[in-house]
Structure 1
């Protein structure tokens, strides 16, 4: 048990990092905040009355030295495809538990390869501890338990009244050159952006959804063993047309100056949805598993994505502090079971 242990939030001054810090403080946990920008950290420290550490991933020796006196690192500094692996490796070296909020499938693949090293260090690596991918991973595990022997999994999610942060928008832009990634017979494969669409029934309403390279094509495969996995998200006809256009011109999105121009446009937007908007918004998920003989479906309704992220990260942090964790690489459901998501305030599911 590490109930009096030190929690460090890296990337603390980002939009989601701030929400997580507020939720930690709400439940009586005062973390140490960290990041690269001393000015931003100093300002946040004044606002929250927390101590801070200026840390840069490139300064490995200092980072590990700080982590050696830390019990749990909550990693919020994306894009995680560049930051997650080196930070997780430093956590292994320092024997410090690792949590992050990524939804990038490539990051889950990277960190899964560190499983043996994490086991030897007796720590848990749990990426995807927020909306990406707690609800969908738990939904996948729940469905797999209801229909053993399933060989296909379809997941879809959408929101009513929410929005995205600058960090999420940046990640979406960076992923355009990869196309649409899905899992077929256990192998990650690609097809054109915008080429997979369906009308998804979310229970109380139906909506157009489009295929997305969501983290579950990695995490749900680990959690359930189901070899064929596709994920969809709420969309519009106009957004689908844009995706098809972007795919045809995807070579442009690989150019550094094009990405920087798009990032500059993103950075002019608000950091993310405001408190009032988040409180009114809801997220909806649909899952379906099947085999040659049967199929099974399930709905799930949750708070808005960023609100859920803050709550789920803190819930998992509390569990680790109480000594409730599994060593090695884990997904939310492999660590805590399919019903983990039902412990989060505001979730309506199968119980």
Structure 2
């Protein structure tokens, strides 16, 4: 086990108001950093005051895009206990993504110990207001300085923390989304199933255009601009008369942790959840016929986000009259109640800090 050294800040920051957190605007007092070098292994693991990283200008992350991250959360339950939501899922997905990007993943013990020690150091930052949490961003980057297309022989693993409120300005209200008919987020055989920084870079232009038109997110379609894949930062579900459909994982869709939790919950209630290909044409036809009852996105940031409007081919298509549906509400309440500790955890999703 790599030893983790701790240096605490002498100048702690003031805590932001819990009712004005937004998302990703504030960062805690400390960060966790560990380094890897081929032939040496992991070294210099430490908790230290939040500060800039020192990187060679020729580092692989800048020139060849070797960057990968995870998104997770810690909660202050009503009892005062601090818990994580499915951290082992995030570790496993980090390892899968690291293999795809030819980065060295940290050992599980180092990941978990660094995570827990960092959250312990910054425990005072965990908010306890409604719909608040501590967002956790574990990140891997290629740090070796060189010019030449090959994997980096050096990796930096770091974790930063941010107290957060609602991801969307709309809060829990249904969002308006734009079905993208020009740009692609990912393609078969690419990086779509990995939380690579490159995926998010390629999404920015379409997302910016959608926001300028009054839409919160982009509904990404496949290479034929028919098959539905993801909604920006979320996986997506459609509630029909006879089934609940979410796009099947096809190599270009991210396997979201909240997506998996929702599927597990729906199955536990014997609800007809189906993973299959679903096209934008089918969704529009189901809206026209009245068979589409509601739609929602799922993700770590928003948990469950109802979808009130889909814009496609020049027209806004209303879903459930633009209102939050009963299943969206039920799932959101169930998952957040487990996270908060007000309901039992029959799925073993919760890991205690201590």
TM-score by length of 1: 0.25
TM-score by length of 2: 0.24
Larger relative CO (CA 8 A, sep 6+): 1 or 2? 1
> Greater strand percent: which structure?
2
